[in-house]
């Protein structure tokens, strides 16, 4: 089991001298593998680096991180090994907030200025969140709430033993994002693009658009058809838009 900084970073298609690295952050309860298919859509000289939080897949035996400060600090430290090339960051749902916190640490520590930050399926931290109680519910109530969002794998739901194993990790992630209340939100120097789904009741267009107030650089908003997990099944369209905004094609 990996215990170094590399444990945080999965590269499914390593590139010897990438033009750019796209660092991707999963949603609550998600793992690095949700971005594996993206490698098929990226140009061959772009390397995808998928962040693997503790407590899942090959890091299953490690304790989950339950507070944003610790998680963002550790990921920032791990990323120092890949900052020899330009980087862009993409985060979905909880991952959007983590990607924002990592971006501001990269800037504040003068480690790097990412060329772009993509925040998907998340309202701006400046906006009040509609729901902050999923991590407080019993297992059935938590699963019900996540199922409404479309965030539970059907195969996991159908396997009671597997569900029992993954729920502690899901609860820890939900505790992290639902208790995330940053006291200070500095404006980034990094350009930001926000993505949301047309049918995502938890991330209305105006909530996604509020990310514009967290950057002094260019801001864009793109709305895709679908709900909270609009990006599943639309990888070519989402990755295509990312590549266009990064001038990779």
216 annotated active-site = no
pLDDT of residue 158: 53
pLDDT of residue 45: 96
| Res. 56 pLDDT band, cuts 50 70 90 | confident
pLDDT of residue 132: 66
Candidate from 45-49, 54-58, 159-163, 174-178 with smallest mean pLDDT = 159-163
Among residues 81, 93, 187, 216, the one annotated as catalytic is: 93
pLDDT of residue 127: 81
Query: Would the pLDDT of 55 be above 60?
Result: yes
Query: 3-state secondary structure string, the chain?
Result: CCCCHHHHEECCCCCCCCCEEEEEECCCCCCHHHHHHHHHCCCCCEEEEEECCCCCHHHCCCCCCCCHHHHHHHHHHHHHHHCCCCEEEEEECHHHHHHHHHHHHHHHCCCCCCCEEEEECCCCCCCCCCCCCHHHCCHHHHHHHHHHHCCCCHHHHCCHHHHHHHHHHHHHHHHHHHCCCCCCCCCECCCEEEEEECCCCCCCHHHHHHHHHHECCCEEEEEECCCCCCCCCCHHHHHHHHHHHCCCC
Query: Would the pLDDT of 79 be above 50?
Result: yes
pLDDT of residue 4: 63
Candidate from 14-23, 25-34, 88-97, 174-183 with smallest mean pLDDT = 174-183
| Highest mean pLDDT (candidates 51-60, 113-122, 168-177) | 113-122
Q: What is the mean pLDDT of the chain?
A: 89
pLDDT of residue 160: 60
**What does pTM read for this prediction?**
0.91
């Amino acid at each position: 089991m990996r215990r170094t900084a590399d444990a945080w970073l999965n590269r499914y298609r390593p590139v010897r001298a990438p033009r750019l690295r796209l660092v991707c952050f999963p949603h609550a309860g998600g793992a690095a593998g949700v971005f594996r298919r993206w490698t098929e859509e990226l140009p061959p000289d772009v390397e995808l680096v998928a962040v693997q939080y503790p407590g899942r897949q090959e890091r299953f035996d490690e304790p989950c991180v339950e507070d944003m400060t610790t998680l963002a600090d550790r990921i920032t430290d791990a990323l120092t090994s890949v900052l020899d090339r330009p980087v862009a960051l993409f985060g979905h749902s909880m991952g959007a907030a983590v990607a924002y916190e990592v971006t501001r640490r990269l800037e504040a520590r003068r480690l790097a200025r990412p060329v772009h930050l993509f925040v998907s399926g998340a309202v701006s931290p400046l906006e009040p969140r509609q729901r902050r109680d999923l991590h407080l519910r019993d297992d059935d109530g938590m699963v019900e709430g996540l199922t409404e969002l479309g965030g539970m794998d059907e195969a996991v739901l159908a396997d009671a033993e597997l569900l029992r194993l993954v729920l502690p990790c899901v609860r820890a992630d939900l505790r992290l994002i639902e208790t995330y209340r940053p006291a200070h939100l500095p404006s980034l120097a990094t350009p930001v693009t926000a993505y949301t789904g047309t049918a995502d009741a938890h991330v209305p267009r105006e909530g996604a658009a509020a990310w514009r107030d967290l950057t002094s650089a260019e801001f864009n908003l793109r709305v895709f058809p679908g709900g909270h997990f609009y990006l599943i099944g639309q990888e070519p369209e989402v990755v295509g838009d990312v590549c266009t905004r990064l001038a990779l094609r």
